[in-house]
Amino acid sequence: MNGDKESLGELIMTLNTASLNDETEVVCGAPSIYLDYARFKLDQRIGVAAQNCYKVPKGAFTGEISPAMIKDCGIDWVILGHSERRHVFGESDELIGQKVAHCLESDLGVIACIGEKLEEREAGTTEDVVFEQTKFIADNVKDWTRVVLAYEPVWAIGTGKTATPDQAQEVHEKLRGWLRANVSDAVADSLRIIYGGSVTGGNCKELAAQPDIDGFLVGGASLKPEFVDIINARS
């Protein structure tokens, strides 16, 4: 929940005029009230995502938006299950799974988020938590080509703490192993698993060099010019 037309306009100008790695897909997750604005202003090479939506096309759900509305604004992606949706707004694994199913049925690409809290990591239950979250997502996916999985350790979001490249790689590798065992070799090999959690211009290259980290879900740094450095982490 950041930005206004002035600040987002400046950021959009920076992105539109920047030299971006041609092999990196860039998608900007704008607040819902600015989705139209972002899509109209951003260069067509840059995608736009809603930050959340509901599980049905329309109805008496005041304050919510639907995949149909998102598509109507020319938007192709939605972020679902972000830790703030889970832990601030109380969204359950079951609800997130239902949203994933409806968005994919509506031909909206899904960036599905998973991740453990600090107490879960300290208790040694990281794998249990992220595998359970992933199962609720996987059970609702038929076409994996429209899905990106985002691992974001909750203890590293906006705290300045980042999972070390080795910590992030370990979870990404285990997630790929879970997909291999529970979905298919093809999905395990092709699915993009991106990392979120205090990614900055300073740490992005080392994280990007890990074999199972396929990109980033960028938070605070996406509001700054260093976002361009993160996009070009593999350049």
Q: What is the DSSP string of 1-65?
A: ----HHHHHHHHHHHHHS---TTS--EEEE-GGGHHHHHHHS-TTSEEEES---SSSSSS-TT--
- Distance of alpha carbon 144 from alpha carbon 176, whole angstroms: 13
Residues in the chain, overall count:
235
Of 23, 82, 122, 226, which one is the catalytic site residue?
82
Q: Which of 121, 182, 181, 116 is nearest to 151 (CA)?
A: 116
Let me know if 82 is a catalytic residue.
yes
Among residues 102, 116, 152, 172, which one is catalytic? 152
Between CA 12 and CA 201 the distance in angstroms is 18
Which residues touch 181 (CB under 8 Å, ≥6 apart)?
none
173 in active site: no
Looking at the annotation, which residues are catalytic? 82, 152
